[in-house]
Amino acid sequence: MNATTNGPGGETVVGRPGWEAVLVWVGFPVLGALVGLGVGPLADWAVDTSWIPDFGPIRFIAELPQPGGTIATVAAGTVLGVLLALTAEGEVLRVGVGPSGVTLTRDGKTRTIARADVSAVFTDRKELVLVSRSGLELAREKSDLGADRLAAAFTGQGYPWRPEGDPHRDQYRRWVPDEPELPAGANAVLRARATALEKGEQDDLAELRDELGKLGIVVRDQDKRQYWRRARIGG
C-alpha cells in the first residue's frame, strides 16, 4: 500500500508506505527461511556438545533425515515468517479521510466518525486523536503513520488539523486516588485503569477510557500516569 492513495468518493487513504509493506512481506518470510536453514546445524552442534542438556525437540531436529529435514525446517520457518507478516499487517492503522467522515481500520475492524462531529484532529506522540465539539475524544489510535502525511490528508479534506497538538492540553490534571472533583464512579474506573495501565492490558484500557467518556471525563496516559479533564456532555 502506498503512503497516501485516493479512495472512492474522493477519500484520501493514509496507510503503510509501500517500502515498509515490501520489507514486511519479503523480509519476514526470508528471515524465517534462514532461521529454518540454520536450525539443523545448530541442533547437531547442541547434541554433540556435552554441557548442553539433552532436550527432546533438539534431538528430534538433529535426527531428521536429510535433505528432507532441512526442507521441512526451511518451510516451517517460511510459514512462520508469513504468519508474522500477517500479524504485523493487521496491527497497522489505515486512515481514510473523506468529505463526509473518517474511517479507521485496524486488524480487519473499521469504525467511521462523521465529519460533522469532528472539531479537532492532531497527533499526541504516537497516537492519532480526533476530538468532538463537546471536547470528548472520538478516537485515540496508536499509529506509526507520519504526522506530515496525516496532516496533508486531513487539511486537504478541510478538517481542523491542529499542528500544535491538543487544544485542551492545559486542562489536564494528574489523577490521584479519590479525587474529589471527579463525578461519581469516575475514581473507581480510574483505579481500574491504573491497574490495567501497569499491566499493559490494552483492551481494558480502551474499554475503561470509553466508560470515562460516558461520565464526561477524558483521560490521557503518560509514563504509566493518568491525566484527566472534563468535557461538555451534550455540548
3-state secondary structure of 189: helix
Distance CA(205)–CA(68), nearest Å, equals: 48
Distance CA(120)–CA(78), nearest Å, equals: 44
The more confident residue out of 108 and 195 is 195
Cell numbers standing for residue 94:
489505515
185 DSSP assignment:
T
Task: Output the pLDDT for position 183.
Answer: 94
Position 201 pLDDT exceeds 60: yes
Across the strands, what pairs with 5? 13
The more confident residue out of 62 and 149 is 149
Q: E strand or H helix at 118, and its extent?
A: strand 118-124
Task: Output the pLDDT for position 45.
Answer: 87
Q: Which residues contact 78 (CB under 8 A, 6 or more apart)?
A: 29, 32, 33, 36
Cell numbers standing for residue 164:
500544535
Across the strands, what pairs with 101? 114
What's the pTM value of the predicted model, to 2 decimals?
0.71
